[in-house]
Structure 1
């Protein structure tokens, strides 16, 4: 059974749900819903990684996520913070967060000092290394080809794994996210090549996390399908993740995935 990270974007400009949960009460209500639907983790973000999004200040990013963290952590809920800023990550750790989801793969300025101080100190802390071909936060676009993408991801993952373990972080604490969608390329076939070759990645990086939820590559191959109409396409991809036994899946619609997972497992048992 996959562990599901329920996406909770507390932003004004996330591509799928920007503005819906910017109010703390609304964000907490959504978090409760995701947990009731079967989320194992809440993946909380106060800064959108949408290519058209504006960078908010570190103070504003923390202001957005803090009420949610303060509400859920004392209740024993596992929180993953989706942030690339060490100062925000530090505050989250001090508030009890035990998973950091970094779209830069912990390559942002200030990461090394932060990781040396906090990484080895907290043995229960998890680190999600996400691959992005272009790690310029304000311009997350690239032109990777389907033929090169797996090799590029493998090289990046190896480099980041070696760097983190050299700083005293256990390899068992590191998760690996290949990115997907615009983090890889405007060409949707780059993302589909990753999905086709998941076994290659999982063989070397078994703690693989994949998020396909409502992403651009799905809409692009279906005639520029609007975001709100991508649920069926998302589910088709997520069933593929289940088939390939991906251990960690990050999604917006937890209930849909839990229902599909149950039916999928029952179908496999009957064969």
Structure 2
């Protein structure tokens, strides 16, 4: 069974839900709903990463996520912090976050020496290395092609793994996200090639996280489908992830995925 990360964006400009959850009380209510729907983790972000996003200060990013983290951690809720800034990551871990989801693949400037001691102190701490063709915020253009993308991702993962292991971080703490949509390319076929070749990635990097929820590549192949109308496309794609037994799936609509997962599993049992 996949562990589901319910997306909680506390931002003004996330592509799907920017501005909806800036109020801490509303964010906490939405997080509670995601948990009730079956989320194993809340993936909390205070800095948007879509192509139109602007960078907020580290202080503002932490100000957005701190009340949510402080509310849920004492209740035993597992929190993943979606942040690429080392200082925000450090504050999150000290506040009880047990997963750092870094869209830069831990390449953003800053001192990360604390990760070694924290992964030893907290043996359940997970570090998600997202393949970062663009370093942090997604870009509109890319030179990745369907033919080259999987090899590029493999090389990136190997390099980042090597660097983090050299920092004395245990390999068991490392998870991997190939990045999808504009994180890869404006060409939707690049993302679909990654989905087709998930088994290749899993052979070397079995601890995978994949997030396809409402992504641009789904809308593009369906005639520029608006974000709000991508739920069926998202679910079809997430069923593909279940088929490949991807251990971590990141999604906006937890209930939809949990219901589909239950039906999927019952169908498999009938074979």
2: CA distance, partners of 1:187 / 1:68: 36
TM-score by length of 2: 0.97
2: CA distance, partners of 1:147 / 1:133: 15
1: CA distance, partners of 2:224 / 2:232: 14
Q: CA deviation at 1:114?
A: 3.9
1: CA distance, partners of 2:14 / 2:198: 27
Tell me if 1:170 matches 2:164. no
SS in 2 for 1:101: strand
Tell me the alpha carbon deviations over residues 23-72 of structure 1, each in whole angstroms, 9 at most, x when there is no partner. Answer: 00000000000000000000000000011111111111001000000000
Preserved CA contact (<8 Å) 1:120 1:167:
no
Q: CA deviation at 1:162?
A: 1.2
Tell me the alpha carbon deviations over residues 169-202 of structure 1, each in whole angstroms, 9 at most, x when there is no partner. Answer: 1111111000000000000000000000000000
* Of 219-228 and 158-167, the range deviating more from structure 2: 158-167
Q: Counterparts of 1:1-271 in structure 2 under 5 Å?
A: 1-135=1-135, 137=137, 139=139, 141-271=141-271
SS in 1 for 2:128: strand
TM-score by length of 1: 0.97
The alignment yields a C-alpha RMSD, in angstroms, of: 1.3
Preserved CA contact (<8 Å) 2:149 2:194:
yes
1: CA distance, partners of 2:66 / 2:137: 22
Tell me the alpha carbon deviations over residues 81-104 of structure 1, each in whole angstroms, 9 at most, x when there is no partner. Answer: 000011111111111111100000
Preserved CA contact (<8 Å) 1:143 1:187:
no
1: CA distance, partners of 2:172 / 2:247: 13
Aligned pair count reads 271
Preserved CA contact (<8 Å) 1:120 1:168:
no
Runs of 4+ aligned residues of structure 1 deviating over 4 Å after TM superposition are 138-141
* Unaligned residue ranges in structure 1 (runs of 5+): none
2: CA distance, partners of 1:100 / 1:177: 12
Tell me the alpha carbon deviations over residues 112-132 of structure 1, each in whole angstroms, 9 at most, x when there is no partner. Answer: 434345444433211000002
* Of 138-147 and 175-184, the range deviating more from structure 2: 138-147
Preserved CA contact (<8 Å) 1:213 1:250:
yes
1: CA distance, partners of 2:119 / 2:246: 25
2: CA distance, partners of 1:16 / 1:99: 23
